[in-house]
Amino acid sequence: MQKNLHMDTSFKTNSHPLLTSILTGVIAAVTLSQCTSTVRYSYAPPQSRAAEGSVANSANARRIEERPGLGTQLGHEIHDTTSSVHFYRKPHGEPDAVAAFHYNDEEGARLMAEMSGRANKHGGDFTLIPGKLKVTVRKAYWGYGDALDYYNAGGKIFVIGKSGQRYVLQLENLMKQRIEVVTSIDGLDVLDGQPASSRKRGYVIPAKTTVTISGMKSGGKLRELSFGSVANSKAATTFGEKGARNVGVIGMACYEENESERRQARVSENYLRDGARAFGN
């Protein structure tokens, strides 16, 4: 059976005085709220961390793009003629000498030299570590071209390069024994393209001999060296602003060989060979 429900919403004059007062207040509050205009406030939402990182990266990229002068970029893959040999470092494990030189375009190299003292321009090789190591930076063509000029000032070397120019490093051992030279370009090791350390392994150079470093290894492949912009350098493109901070410097850590350990190893090998049998065991 359907029931008809009816609600009486009128207020009787004989209602309870307290109840009438409360209900009248509620109705007044509702009526007042309906007449009040709504004020809306707009605000900019806080930037997300991802957006902040994007802005920071963009600013860093602009700073690198705006930097003048040269950096080293890697070019085509070239044939790697190096091989592995054993070198006996001294027990202390520290290099016997560490040295570095800078490079830049003509204007940059000259200004850097003048900041260090009276700038004198030279051509050819230069002694990087007295009595141990001499260095030549050469243009690279199908063979090896002329040596690049450099400024010498305040005991520092500033090699002059040109954008787009390929180059190689020639290292001459001035000693009467083998040395090992760990080499870095723009703060990166030439044997792996990763951040350099003087404790890594290097090129072993026989006594009174010259070797040529024609490239930097990256991803297991040897790639040619060439001068270019800071933004396009291997250091900047791989490691960003932190890598670009080291652009323009070439460093070398020199180890003299532990001759005693080397001779001992050769004697042991000779005894082993003396007992070798030509036919069977």
pLDDT of residue 61: 79
Listed residue (146, 188, 183, 152) closest to 167, CA to CA: 146
Q: Is the pLDDT of residue 41 over 80?
A: no
- Convert the pLDDT of each residue in 96-121 to its tens digit: 999 999 999 999 999 999 999 999 99
Cβ–Cβ under 8 Å, residues 149 and 127: no
The domain spans of the chain are: 64-78+95-263
pLDDT of residue 94: 94
Mean of the per-residue pLDDT values for the chain?
84
| 270 phi and psi angles, rounded to 5 deg | -65, -40
Q: Is the pLDDT of residue 18 over 60?
A: no
Which has more confidence, 6 or 123? Answer: 123
pLDDT of residue 108: 98
Q: Look at strands 97-104 and 156-160 and give their pairing.
A: parallel
Average pLDDT over residues 189-203: 97
Q: Is the pLDDT of residue 133 over 50?
A: yes
Average pLDDT over residues 194-200: 97
Average pLDDT over residues 187-215: 97
Q: Is the pLDDT of residue 55 over 60?
A: no
pLDDT band for position 93 (cuts 50, 70, 90): confident
Tokens encoding 25: 């207040």
pLDDT band for position 32 (cuts 50, 70, 90): very low
Listed residue (91, 116, 118) closest to 102, CA to CA: 116
pLDDT of residue 59: 76
Q: Is the pLDDT of residue 129 over 90?
A: yes
What residues form DSSP beta bridges with 186? Answer: none
Q: Is the pLDDT of residue 7 over 60?
A: no
Q: Is the pLDDT of residue 22 over 50?
A: no
Residue 33's H or E segment, with its range, is helix 17-35
How many Cβ atoms from other residues are within 10 Å of residue 232's Cβ?
A: 16
DSSP label at residue 192? T
- Convert the pLDDT of each residue in 204-257 to its tens digit: 999 999 999 999 999 999 999 999 999 999 999 999 999 999 999 999 999 999
Average pLDDT over residues 186-194: 98
pLDDT band for position 145 (cuts 50, 70, 90): confident
The pTM of the full predicted model, rounded to 2 decimals, is 0.77
pLDDT of residue 11: 39
